[in-house]
Chain A
Amino acid sequence: MSALLNKKYLPFYATVLVFVAIFLIGGATYRNFLSMRVLGNILADNSFIIIAATGATFVILSGGIDLSIGSMIGFVGVSVAVLDSLGWDPLSSAILMLIFGFAFGAFQGWVIDSLDIQPFIITLAGLFLLRGLCFMVTVNAVPITHEWADLYSDIRIRLPGKGLLRSSAMVMLASLAVAIFIAHFTRFGTNVYAIGGDRESARLMGVNIRRTTVMVYAVAGFYSALAGVVYALYTKSGYPLAGNTLELSAIASVVLGGTLLTGGVGMVAGTLFGGMILGLISTLIIFNGSLNSAWILISSGVLLFGFIVLHRFLVSSFDIGNGR
Chain B
Amino acid sequence: MTFHKLFAASLSCALMSSAALAADYTIGFSQVGSEGDWRPAFSKNMQDEAGKYGVDLKFANAQGKQEEQLRAVRAFIAQGVDAIIIAPVVVTGWEDVLEEAKDAEIPVFLVDRDVDVDDKSLYVTRISADFNLEGKLAGAWLAAESLGNCKIVEMQGTTGSAPAIERKSGFEAVIDQFPAMEIVATQSGDFTTEGGKKVMEAFIKSTNNLDGICAAFAHNDNMQLGAIQAMKEAGLKPGKDVLMVSVDYVPAIVDAMKAGDANASVELRSAVAEFIYPVITDYLESPKDLDKWIVIPSDLHKAE
User: Interface residues, chain A, CB within 8 Å of chain B?
Assistant: 30-33, 35, 37-38, 41, 44-45, 48, 141, 143, 150, 153, 162, 164, 231, 234-237, 239, 242, 279, 282-283, 286-290, 292-293
Indicate which residue in B28, B93, B116 contacts A289 across the interface (CB closer than 8 Å): B28
- When distances are taken between beta carbons in the complex, the residues of chain B under 8 Å from A150 are 95
- When distances are taken between beta carbons in the complex, the residues of chain B under 8 Å from A162 are 104
With contacts A45-B67, A293-B63 taken as known, whether A236 is within 8 angstroms of B93 at the C-beta atoms is: yes
CA distance A272 to B80 in the complex (A): 27
* A142, closest chain B residue (CB): B92
B92 touches A287 (CB 8 A): no
User: Interface residues, chain B, CB within 8 Å of chain A?
Assistant: 28, 47, 56-61, 63, 66-68, 70-72, 74-80, 90-93, 95-96, 100, 104, 116
- When distances are taken between beta carbons in the complex, the residues of chain A under 8 Å from B79 are 30-33, 287
* Distance between B31 CB and nearest chain A CB, rounded to angstroms: 9
With contacts A32-B80, A236-B95 taken as known, whether A289 is within 8 angstroms of B58 at the C-beta atoms is: yes
* B69, closest chain A residue (CB): A235
CA distance A264 to B116 in the complex (A): 48
B93 touches A287 (CB 8 A): no
B90 touches A41 (CB 8 A): no
Total A-B residue contacts, Cβ distance less than 8 Å: 83
B67 touches A282 (CB 8 A): no
- When distances are taken between beta carbons in the complex, the residues of chain A under 8 Å from B60 are 286, 289, 293
Indicate which residue in A35, A41, A235, A293 contacts B61 across the interface (CB closer than 8 Å): A293
- When distances are taken between beta carbons in the complex, the residues of chain A under 8 Å from B91 are 141
CA distance A143 to B68 in the complex (A): 18
B66 touches A32 (CB 8 A): no
B59 touches A236 (CB 8 A): no
A287 touches B58 (CB 8 A): yes
- When distances are taken between beta carbons in the complex, the residues of chain B under 8 Å from A283 are 71, 75, 78
A45 touches B71 (CB 8 A): yes
CA distance A32 to B78 in the complex (A): 7
B92 touches A141 (CB 8 A): yes
23 contacting pairs across A/B (C-beta < 8 A): A30-B79, A33-B79, A35-B78, A37-B78, A38-B78, A41-B74, A41-B78, A44-B74, A45-B70, A48-B67, A141-B91, A141-B92, A143-B93, A234-B67, A235-B67, A235-B93, A239-B66, A242-B66, A283-B71, A283-B78, A286-B60, A286-B71, A287-B75
CA distance A293 to B58 in the complex (A): 12
- When distances are taken between beta carbons in the complex, the residues of chain A under 8 Å from B90 are 141, 237, 239
CA distance A215 to B66 in the complex (A): 33
A286 touches B95 (CB 8 A): no
- When distances are taken between beta carbons in the complex, the residues of chain B under 8 Å from A153 are 96
* B66, closest chain A residue (CB): A235
* Distance between B9 CB and nearest chain A CB, rounded to angstroms: 15
- When distances are taken between beta carbons in the complex, the residues of chain A under 8 Å from B116 are 143
A231 touches B67 (CB 8 A): yes
* A285, closest chain B residue (CB): B60
CA distance A282 to B78 in the complex (A): 14
- When distances are taken between beta carbons in the complex, the residues of chain B under 8 Å from A35 are 78
CA distance A288 to B75 in the complex (A): 11
* Distance between A47 CB and nearest chain B CB, rounded to angstroms: 10
- When distances are taken between beta carbons in the complex, the residues of chain A under 8 Å from B61 are 292-293
CA distance A287 to B21 in the complex (A): 13
